[in-house]
Copies of this chain bind each other. A is one copy, B any other.
Amino acid sequence: MTLAPAIAAFADGLRADLAPAVFRELEPRYTEEPRGRFAGQGGLLLAPGSTEEVASIVRAAASAGLPIVPYGGGTGLVGGQVSDDLRDPVILSLERMTRIRSIDATENALVAEAGVILQNVHEAAEAANRLFPLTIAAQGSARIGGVLSTNAGGVNVLRYGNARDLCLGLEAVLPDGSVLQGLSPLRKNNTGYDLRHLLIGAEGTLGIITAATLKLLPRPAHEGAAMLTVRDPQAALDLLNLARDRIGEGISAFELISKTGLDFLEETVPEVRRPLSAEGNPEWSVLIDLGLGAAGDPQAALEGLFAAAHDAGLVSDGVIAQSEGQRQDFWQLRENLPEANRRIGAVSSHDISVPLAAIPRFIAEAPGALAKIGTFRINCFGHVGDGNLHYNVFPMPGRSRADHAAQRDAIKRCVHDLVHTHGGSVSAEHGVGRLKVEDMERYVDPVKLAAMRAIKDALDPKGIMNPGAVLRRR
């Protein structure tokens, strides 16, 4: 494919300054994204090997007024990494910046370049007897730059926070090509505005993260898990409160699983083991995971919790993992839910959050609202301890997602309106990307949007950084 003349000239200009390895063949994966909603129209793929090379590219692009789309692991679910309406942008991949620059167990900090894969951060931390707790389905391919740019969440946010809470400092190339030197591991540093938190979650629209100082934590000495059958989502919440009162900070994850999810698993991924021996499939289950200190005994804690919850009428059945292998089985089940969903084929998927107290009402009200649009199966699961639900709408057996294509917008609107009514968010952990720009305009405080626009224009006056993501192009 031939590049547009302006970008071809730009590429020629860069060849004099940058190593040949920077220039790569544009493979299809760079213009595709997991959900297939956005398809890029081509572009100049550059894979710089250093912060200086990133800065050179951004300076040149700023000077030529050419748009840049940053690219990490390509796992984003909202089209932040693929522009469908730019002819030949600069696609700037961080894949060659994969160095862990340092790790310090005393400082409890690790400096990773933007292209380091999340799983590799986990492994480096473990080798230093520390924990980097951010755990997401895509951790085998997601890269740290993208993880931070989208402020990724996952299953351990309840205990450890989102990506932003696990980042101590950033190095980034700003839209004019200047390099922000902010890799300090300091826990206390009150010298001016916190640009780190502005870049985290900005999805590449305010600059390109090139490296980050990540926070490491103590590894829990003892871990344990249980799957418990609860009456309904309110009982799940009451169980969470009971668990918090009894176990406090030791709760690492608290996940809600629906009967539909278990049915989908049985249908599409039958090799996954089912821990609950109960009669039939329970309507609602909870997976609770504990990580305790040296004196802690997760199994005893879970047994005590189960007994108390049973007495309180909150749980009717349950299994406490008797080994690390069994605990891993529980997590296998949980982690295969998205795969089962993929195989069934959702009409519409929603990454939403509501205040905890609103969860039962939201789950009770949504099916009725959707029934006005059509007849669907619903798989609602997710990080209930954070109020973060993945609320996914599927066709009835024998029908396909294509049959409902015309209803997709109405479904999305219905779910998002209800979320908004309950004070929730229409993008809990996946970000805005290009998929939810319109939702932002509909649901987000206009004062916030105006301030965001002012900041974007101030830092990126030419609008070259990931145009069309988060904020509408103009």
A residues adjacent to B (C-beta < 8 A): 104-108, 129, 150-151, 153, 157-158, 161-162, 164-165, 174, 178-182, 184-198, 200-202, 206, 217-221, 237, 240-241, 244-250, 292-297, 300-301, 353-357, 383, 386-388, 423-432, 436, 439-440, 443-445, 447-452, 454-455, 457-459, 470-471
Shortest Cβ gap from A160 to chain B (Å): 10
Q: A164-B197, A218-B245, A454-B458 are in contact. List 8 more A-B contacts (CB 8 A).
A: A107-B355, A184-B355, A188-B353, A188-B383, A188-B388, A195-B452, A247-B294, A292-B293
- Please measure, in the bound complex, the distance between the C-alpha atom of A174 and the C-alpha atom of B452, giving whole angstroms: 12
Q: Which of B192, B425, B432, B448 contacts A440 (CB 8 A)?
A: B192
A190 touches B150 (CB 8 A): yes
Chain B contacts of A206 at CB under 8 A?
193
Given contact pairs A292-B295, A293-B292, A427 touches B300 in the complex (Cβ within 8 A): no
Given contact pairs A249-B217, A295-B296, A459-B455, A188 touches B157 in the complex (Cβ within 8 A): yes
- Please measure, in the bound complex, the distance between the C-alpha atom of A295 and the C-alpha atom of B303, giving whole angstroms: 13
Given contact pairs A190-B151, A246-B294, A293-B292, A445 touches B386 in the complex (Cβ within 8 A): no
A191 touches B249 (CB 8 A): no
Chain B contacts of A237 at CB under 8 A?
106
A188 touches B454 (CB 8 A): no
A106 touches B451 (CB 8 A): no
| Nearest chain B residue, comparing its CB with the CB of A206 | B193
- 8 inter-chain pairs at a CB distance below 8 angstroms, sorted by A residue, are A129-B245, A188-B425, A192-B201, A194-B197, A220-B248, A451-B459, A454-B459, A455-B458
- Please measure, in the bound complex, the distance between the C-alpha atom of A182 and the C-alpha atom of B451, giving whole angstroms: 13
Chain B contacts of A430 at CB under 8 A?
190
Chain B contacts of A193 at CB under 8 A?
198, 201-202, 206, 451-452, 455, 470
Chain B contacts of A189 at CB under 8 A?
353, 425, 427-428
B188 touches A198 (CB 8 A): no
Given contact pairs A107-B356, A247-B293, A198 touches B197 in the complex (Cβ within 8 A): yes
Given contact pairs A197-B198, A295-B296, A186 touches B455 in the complex (Cβ within 8 A): no
Chain B contacts of A240 at CB under 8 A?
106
- Please measure, in the bound complex, the distance between the C-alpha atom of A302 and the C-alpha atom of B118, giving whole angstroms: 35
| Nearest chain B residue, comparing its CB with the CB of A436 | B191
Given contact pairs A182-B448, A357-B107, A162 touches B191 in the complex (Cβ within 8 A): no
Which residue among A189, A244, A293, A443 has the maximum number of chain B CB atoms within 10 Å of its CB?
A189
- Please measure, in the bound complex, the distance between the C-alpha atom of A386 and the C-alpha atom of B189, giving whole angstroms: 10
| Nearest chain B residue, comparing its CB with the CB of A250 | B293
Shortest Cβ gap from A281 to chain B (Å): 28
Chain B contacts of A249 at CB under 8 A?
217-218, 249, 293
B428 touches A180 (CB 8 A): no
Closest CB pairs A-B (n = 4): A197-B197, A458-B458, A218-B248, A189-B425
- Please measure, in the bound complex, the distance between the C-alpha atom of A153 and the C-alpha atom of B189, giving whole angstroms: 10
- Please measure, in the bound complex, the distance between the C-alpha atom of A247 and the C-alpha atom of B65, giving whole angstroms: 54
A187 touches B451 (CB 8 A): no
- Please measure, in the bound complex, the distance between the C-alpha atom of A448 and the C-alpha atom of B295, giving whole angstroms: 45
- Please measure, in the bound complex, the distance between the C-alpha atom of A165 and the C-alpha atom of B383, giving whole angstroms: 20
